[in-house]
Chain A
Amino acid sequence: MSAVLEVRGLVKRFGGLVAVDSLDLDVAAGQITSLIGPNGAGKTTVFNMLSGITRPDAGRIRLAGADVTGAASWRMARAGVCRTFQNPRLFWNLTVLENVAVAIQRERSLAGELVALLFAERRYAEEARELLAFVGLADRAAELASSLPYGHLRRLELARALAGTAQVVMLDEPVAGMNPAEVDDLMRLLEAIRRRGPALFLIEHNMRVVLDISDRVTVLNFGRKIAEGTPAHVRTHPAVVEAYLGGAREATP
Chain B
Amino acid sequence: MRWAPRLLAVGAVAAAPWLISALGWRPSYLLQLAGLLPILIVAALSETIIAGFGGQVSVGQAGFMAVGAYTTGLLAGSAAWPWVASIGAGVLASIAVAALVGVPALRLRGPYFVMASLAFGGIAYVVATNWIEVTGGPGGLRNLAPPAFERVGLHPDVGVFYMLWIAGFGTVGLVAWFRDTPLGRSLLAVREDELAAAAVGVHVALVKSLSFMMSGAIAGLAGALLPLFVGLVTPDAFSINQSLLILTQVLIGGIDRIRGAIVGTVLLLVVGELLRDFAEFQLLIYGLVMLGVILFFPRGLVGELLARRPARARMAG
Contacts and interface: CB of A to CB of B under 8 A. Distances in A.
Contact of B203 (A74, A92, A95, A142): A74
A161 B316 CA distance: 21
Contacts of B210: 114, 117
Q: How large is the interface on B (under 10, 10 to 19, 20 to 34, 35 or more residues)?
A: 20 to 34
7 contacts: A77-B198, A77-B199, A89-B195, A93-B192, A117-B182, A141-B315, A163-B201
Interface string A186-204: 0000000000000000000
Contact of A91 (B197, B313, B317): B197
B185 interface: yes
A105 B202 contact: yes
B315 A142 contact: yes
**SS class, residues of chain B in contact with chain A:** helix
Contacts of A160: 200
Chain A interface bracket (under 10, 10 to 19, 20 to 34, 35 or more): 35 or more
B183 A118 contact: yes
Contacts of B317: 125
Interface of A: 51-53, 72-74, 77-78, 82-83, 85, 89-95, 97-99, 101-106, 110, 113-114, 116-121, 124-125, 141-144, 147, 160-161, 163-164
B28 interface: no
B202 A74 contact: yes
Contacts, number: 116
A144 to B, nearest CB: 6
Contacts of A92: 192
B316 A91 contact: no
B189 A91 contact: yes
B114 to A, nearest CB: 22
B311 interface: yes
A118 B203 CA distance: 14
B315 A117 contact: no
Contacts of B268: none
Nearest to B198: A73
